[in-house]
Amino acid sequence: MSINHHISDELLLRYASGELAEGWSLAVATHLALCPSCRQRLSKMETIGGALLENISTGAASDDAWARMRRRMDKADVRVSQPMEDHRQAGRAEPILPEPLRSYLGGDIDSLKWRSLGMGAYQIPIRLADTSTIARLLRIPAGKPVPEHGHAGQELTLVLAGSFRDGSDVFARGDLEEADASLTHQPLASEGEDCICLAVTDAPLKFKSWLVRLIQPVLGI
Amino acid sequence: MDESDQEQPTDDMSGLLVSVGLNRDVEAFEVLFRHYAPRVKAYMARLSRDGTAAEELMQETMMVVWNKAAQFEPSRGTVSTWIYTIARNVRVDVYRRTKRPEFDLNDPAFVQDDAAPADKAFEAFQEAERLRRAMAALPAEQLDLLKRSFYEDSSHSAIAEALSIPLGTVKSRIRLAFAKLRAALEER
């Protein structure tokens, strides 16, 4: 597998420093599971974070802080973790959805309950604790356009199966597209295989009218 | 910078943390605690500006270090990098009230790196040394922006606003700083 569209420096830095909201982080972490080269970039950023920590100016640790630590250690000495074990099992089919995405959806692709979006497209909303973004899994029929989903802010799209074309760019498994409001785009699923992708957007603006709020979920995305 | 423990080389820290993992070595952990606890607390304080919360988050972080020491692998990087990632995750868990989404090395769908693991422990130590030197050589305004992007919960545009400098300048300074540090990390 060769991935052509990677995580931008700014996005990766915000993930490395722990600033990225849950929805964006889900797309970034799932791309990282598929992309050794972005993991190397991440590890360099974390090394830089470690060096900054090492160089931070500080006073000495107080004896009081250490005494508190000792008390906690004595109390908690039962739940010691062991070295990580390798749970991979030989001969089992690889899931289509990597972690952490698979756990968010509660299973792999064939266990999912798709909801129709019309025009042969389907979606599954993904439950996030942090509601500043909206994440969903989309399934676009081969050869069909991605349904228009008017978003005003940023959008991240990670391809998991099949591929789509946006202008002259093709996005296949593992590829991540970063789009903002300035980009008008009309992605089109490639022929041959349905395109399954994770799409994350800023949460939609809250409409003032209770009536619009009521029908907004009916209108879908 | 704290002069008293400047001489403590990073690979000694690595040996101490391995010993904590293998033997529940309290003496080794005390050395680590006295070195890293004030740093972790300062990192937390930059984010919360609340001394009590920073102390609490530091205790929480060092508790995870004590409990998970057996998972530390010197071949993957230095102690400061490992503790940085734990402190960051504790912060995300507390402030965002969500677990940070992370990939799982043991997931069957995880795509492994083909690169052969050479003597990574030694390499990681050397990398840290080169990085330290490159960081010391950075112009002050680049180092400042780098610290802000690691320690403050703000985007590049928020940093630009806070410093009243154009967004483009923020981005290009961060890019420059990164290019230099990355070059230092990639030297062989």
Domain ranges of chain A: 1-78+91-221
Query: What is the domain-level CATH number for residue B160?
Result: 1.10.10.10
Map residue B39 onto helix, strand or coil.
helix
Q: Same domain, yes or no, for B93 and B183?
A: no
Provide the shortest C-alpha distance from residue A116 to chain B (in Å). 27
Query: What is the domain-level CATH number for residue B84?
Result: 1.10.1740.10
Provide the shortest C-alpha distance from residue B16 to chain A (in Å). 16
Q: Same domain, yes or no, for B26 and B38?
A: yes
Domain membership flag for residue B110 = no
Per-residue pLDDT of B1-25, as tens digits, reads 444 444 445 568 999 999 999 999 9
Question: Can you read off the two tokens belonging to residue B101?
Answer: 């989404």
Domain membership flag for residue B112 = no
Chain B residue with the nearest C-alpha to that of A50 = B81
As for how many domains chain B has, the answer is 2
Q: Which residue of A47, A63, A71, A110 is the best one to mutate when testing the B interface, meaning the one whose CB has the most B CBs within 10 A?
A: A47
User: What is the pLDDT of chain A when averaged over all its residues?
Assistant: 84
Q: Which of A3-12, A52-61, A148-157, A167-176 has the lowest mean pLDDT?
A: A148-157
Q: Same domain, yes or no, for B82 and B65?
A: yes
Contact A47 B89 (CB under 8 A): no
Beta carbons of B145 and B174 less than 8 angstroms apart = yes
Provide the shortest C-alpha distance from residue B39 to chain A (in Å). 6
Query: Residue A166 pLDDT > 50, yes or no?
Result: yes
Beta carbons of A155 and A201 less than 8 angstroms apart = yes
Q: Same domain, yes or no, for B152 and B87?
A: no
Query: What does the pLDDT read at residue A214?
Result: 55
Chain A residue with the nearest C-alpha to that of B112 = A36
Per-residue pLDDT of A94-148, as tens digits, reads 899 999 999 999 999 989 999 998 888 999 999 999 888 999 999 999 998 876 6
Residue B89, number of CB atoms within 10 A of its CB: 16
Contact A52 B106 (CB under 8 A): no
Domain membership flag for residue B57 = yes
Domain that holds residue B4: 1-100+119-136
Instruction: Tell me the C-alpha distance between A173 and A195, whole Å.
Output: 9
Q: State ipTM.
A: 0.84
Q: Which fold has domain A1-78+91-221?
A: Jelly Rolls (2.60.120)
Q: Same domain, yes or no, for B130 and B141?
A: no
User: Mean pLDDT across the stretch A73-99?
Assistant: 68
For residue B38, list chain A residues with Cβ-Cβ distance below 8 A: 58-61
Q: Same domain, yes or no, for B64 and B143?
A: no
Q: Same domain, yes or no, for B87 and B61?
A: yes
For residue A69, list chain B residues with Cβ-Cβ distance below 8 A: 33, 37, 59, 62-63, 66
Domain membership flag for residue B106 = no
Residue stretches of chain B with pLDDT short of 70: 1-11, 48-51, 115-121, 153-154, 188
**Phi, psi angle pair for B160, to nearest 5°:** -60, -45
Best-predicted range by mean pLDDT (A27-36, A203-212, B68-77, B155-164): A27-36
DSSP one-letter string for A128-157: -SSTTEEEEEEEE-TT-BPPP---SS-EEE
Q: Which of A12-16, A60-64, B9-13, B59-63 has the lowest mean pLDDT?
A: B9-13
